[in-house]
Structure 1
Amino acid sequence: MSEPGPESIPTSADPRSKRPVKRRAVTPHSEHATQIESLFRDPTKEIKLPDPSKQRTSSSLPPPPEIVANVQGSSAGAGSGEFHVYKASRRREYERLRLMQSEVDKEAEDKEWEKKREEARRKDEEKTEKNRKRREKRNAKKGKKNAANGDKMVVDEVGKKEVGPSVHQDGEKEVGDAPVEATEVTGVIIHED
């Protein structure tokens, strides 16, 4: 039996030792910190990033063999090596089928999304057209009111001259376009529809 003392302490844990302490458990955080420290040691060193992985499709996988000369199964009696060959070929085939199914599902989702987008666009156009017709109808109505009220005096944009037929003291209208000075009215103008 060993006696308790400095000899029983591991060398890396001994405070007198100059060796770095061994790190037993590496956490993702500490591993990342170590990688960053190594990058900062030599800033001139070129950093090579891995290429982005490409999306796997059924066409990117090798096609299944055309002719299978030696059909194998997972039944008893096959050799121990044959089982792993069978499992690998089955895994490849299932992966190929899964990718083909995911492509079909994605196409169906894309068609459905395109259909919904087209429907929403059509509804927006219908609503816009309806509002446009309503607006034109309202503006046409206003235009008729302004044309019907042609007897009233109209003040031009400057607000100082009166344009239109003027009325004499005896109630007769003057046909000429003689501008008459008008007083500018201050206050709030309310237009009723």
Structure 2
Amino acid sequence: MSEPGPESVPTSADPRSKRPIKRRAVTPHSEQAGQIETLFKDPSKEIRLPDSSNPRTSSSLAPPPEIVTNVQGSSAGAGSGEFHVYKASRRREYERLRLMQSEVDQEKDNAEWEKQREEAKRKDDEKTEKNRKRREKKRATRGKKGGKDSAMDMDKSSTTKAPSVPSQTDQGVNAEGQVPHGEVPGVIIHDED
């Protein structure tokens, strides 16, 4: 049997060949896989993300020419190349006008949104003020009544206070530790039998 010779190796894969290696059509899947492989080759390497591009505005475009030279009519002397020059010029001008219009629309939308926000804030403030006045009026009438509501307020205020520790004088014992004659500390039970 014979060994495979150089003639069995495809020309593009032969290291002696000067031909460029054939490149296959890249699918989105294989392109993404290739990018991920390069990222994982050196995980410690810092990944640089491209800066987010600023939105294009009419001021970012080149201004239209002030003097147009070599202006030709629709048919007289117009060569085949002039059509593409005209189309490019028209495309640039339409792009500039479109960007100017979008800026105007954006400003209009922003002003309208700001107006709606201010209107909503004003309505919220009015409603808050109305509710505050209603609460104050309710409190004022509750304080004048002195009925059940004020008694409940007193109960609530008494439960919120910290309980006081009774001193010895509150229990019927004077400062010297003696019990006065008429009072006996403790519970008094009356038998009616």
Pairwise CA distance, 1:131:
0.3
Match of 1:187 in 2: none
CA contact (8 A) 1:74 1:83 kept: no
1:157 and 2:158 matched: yes
Q: Percent identity?
A: 74
**Partner Cα distance (1:81, 1:69) in 2:** 16
Change in Cα spacing, 1:47 to 1:131, as seen in structure 2 (3 Å) is: closer
For the Cα contact (< 8 Å) 1:73–1:86, is it kept in 2?
A: no
**Within 1, Cα distance between the matches of 2:33 and 2:116?**
48
Residue of structure 2 in register with 1:66 after alignment = 66
SS of residue matched to 1:36: helix
Does the 8 Å contact 1:74/1:86 carry over to 2?
Answer: no
**Other-structure match for 1:112:** 112
CA deviation map 1:40-77 (0-9, x unaligned): 22335554432221110000111111121222466575
TM-score by length of 2: 0.61
Match of 2:138 in 1: 138
- Secondary structure of the residue aligned to 2:81 is helix
C-alpha distance after superposition, 1:125-145 (max 9, x if no partner): 010011011001000000101
Between the aligned partners of 1:47 and 1:135, the Cα distance in structure 2 is 59
CA separation in 2, counterparts of 1:75 and 1:126? Answer: 69
Partner of 1:94: 94
Counterpart-to-counterpart distance in 2, 1:108 and 1:46: 42
Between Structure 1 and Structure 2, the one with more helix by share is: 2
Give the structure-1-normalised TM-score.
Answer: 0.61
The CA deviation at 1:146 is 1.9
Q: Which moved more, 1:40-49 or 1:80-89?
A: 40-49
Q: Unpaired segments of 5 or more residues in structure 1?
A: 1-9, 12-21, 161-193
CA contact (8 A) 1:57 1:100 kept: yes
- Number of aligned residue pairs: give it: 139
CA separation of 1:129 and 1:47: change in aligned 2, threshold 3 A: closer
SS of the residue 2:146 aligns to: helix
When residues 74 and 38 of structure 1 are mapped into structure 2, their CA distance, relative to the original with a 3 A threshold, is farther
* Equivalent in the alignment of 1:83: 83
Task: Flag the 1:118–1:46 CA change in 2: closer, same or farther, 3 A.
Answer: closer
**SS at 2:70 equivalent:** coil
For residue 118 of structure 1, report the CA deviation from its aligned partner. 0.4
2:122 paired residue number: 122
**Tell me, which stretches of 5 or more residues in structure 2 are unaligned?**
1-8, 11-21, 164-193
Structure 1 residues 118, 75: CA separation in 2 closer, same or farther (over 3 Å shift)?
Answer: farther
- Normalized per residue, which structure has more strand? 1
Aligned pair in 2 of structure 1 residues 80, 143: CA closer, same or farther (>3 Å)? same
Cross-structure match for 2:53: 53
